[in-house]
Amino acid sequence: MFELIIFLHELGHFMTAKKFGVKVNEFALGMGPKIIKFRKGETLYSLRLFPIGGFCSMEGEDGESDDARSFGKKKVWQRMIIVVAGAVMNIILGFVLMMITLIPAHLFATNTIAGFSEVNESSQYLKAGDEIKSINGYDIYTSMDMNFALATAKSNDFTFKVDRDGQTMTFDHVKFPTTKNDDGNEVIHRDIIILGVENNFGTLIQQTFLQTCSTVRMVWASLFGLITGQFGFNEMAGPIGMTSAVTQATAEGLKTSFWDGLSNLIFIMMVITVNLGVVNLLPLPALDGGRLVFLIVEAIRRKPVKPEHEGWVHLIGMVALLLFMVVISINDIIRLFNH
């Protein structure tokens, strides 16, 4: 699953590089020693031992080259497109996967309240017909926005902003019914019933687009939450933690049906590929977003930053990123043993 996501990311770089005439020295899937390799034209294609990454090695990408077809010899706008193409492919894959998960649905959830469950508390404030605009300050456009806002709340105390009969109204201290689980922890039960709209071609395209945008917003909100301390370090996960989460979610779905298990797998895959696309464009060294920053600076200055200076920045960023991955992986392993 990870390798498919990475393959399409690198394919974005590869296709745009070829389109603009950049020489691609190697296109590799996986890392480490080569298992299978063959050359077609000027490019070496390889499958490597460890399925933990991949790369598209372009001539002159990480240093100076006299080759007229090197990356550095192309126009700055062409290099910008090549750099962002990987993330764009991830977002496109997310759109396709989102559509696959939505196709079987009979109805799509909106952000309008249709009613309440038999046991409810929120009806003291909310009413059927209310269109939910925000929860705890998080804007609501789709059911995914609603799920994220409710799932990340720290307590059973919500602030709802709704549109009621054309008027915007805000309600503080909205609560849902709660019960205790076997561990003695409080479980919150959402007591609102959401209005659904029929699944047809128009609503499928609309919901696919909106839900994909909601996933992008969710990634940004999660990153912001990590920076501001809303989410703790233990709530982060690397490849090991993600593998565990994928396994659990798929197994849980398989308890009801094969499609539910597969749907859970595809949904998490969609979240991961969108996450990769968004995070990869952050203006951080060693990421595509960091390279994009240098290209923007070049476009403004009308001359490139010295390759050795940019190379040092990316090298330091790569070392920091690898150390961070090690720390996250150790935390994933500890969490597996504790749970």
Q: Over the stretch 97-116, which tens digit does the pLDDT of each residue have?
A: 999 999 999 999 999 999 99
Look at residue 149 and tell me whether its pLDDT is greater than 80.
yes
What are the sequence ranges of the domains in the chain?
107-198
CA angle, corner 15, sides to 11 and 20, nearest 5? Answer: 150
Per-residue pLDDT tens over the stretch 212-248:
999 999 988 888 888 887 777 777 787 788 888 888 8
- Please report, for residues 84, 85, 281, the alpha-carbon distance to residue 216 in angstroms, rounded to integers and kept in the order given: 16, 17, 12
Amino acid identity of residue 213, one-letter, is C
Look at residue 312 and tell me whether its pLDDT is greater than 90.
no
Reading the block at residue 115, the tokens are 């009613």
Domain covering 107-198 in this structure, CATH number:
2.30.42.10
d(CA 7, CA 13): 10
Q: What is the DSSP letter of 63?
A: S
- Please report, for residues 32, 128, 163, the alpha-carbon distance to residue 116 in angstroms, rounded to integers and kept in the order given: 56, 8, 17
Per-residue pLDDT tens over the stretch 200-209:
999 999 999 9
Give the other-Cβ count within 10 Å of 28's Cβ.
19
Per-residue pLDDT tens over the stretch 325-337:
888 888 888 887 8
Write down the pTM of the prediction.
0.85
User: Which of these ranges, 130-134, 182-186, 189-193, has the smallest mean pLDDT?
Assistant: 182-186
Report which of 6, 53, 1, 55 is spatially closest to residue 27, judged by C-alpha positions: 55
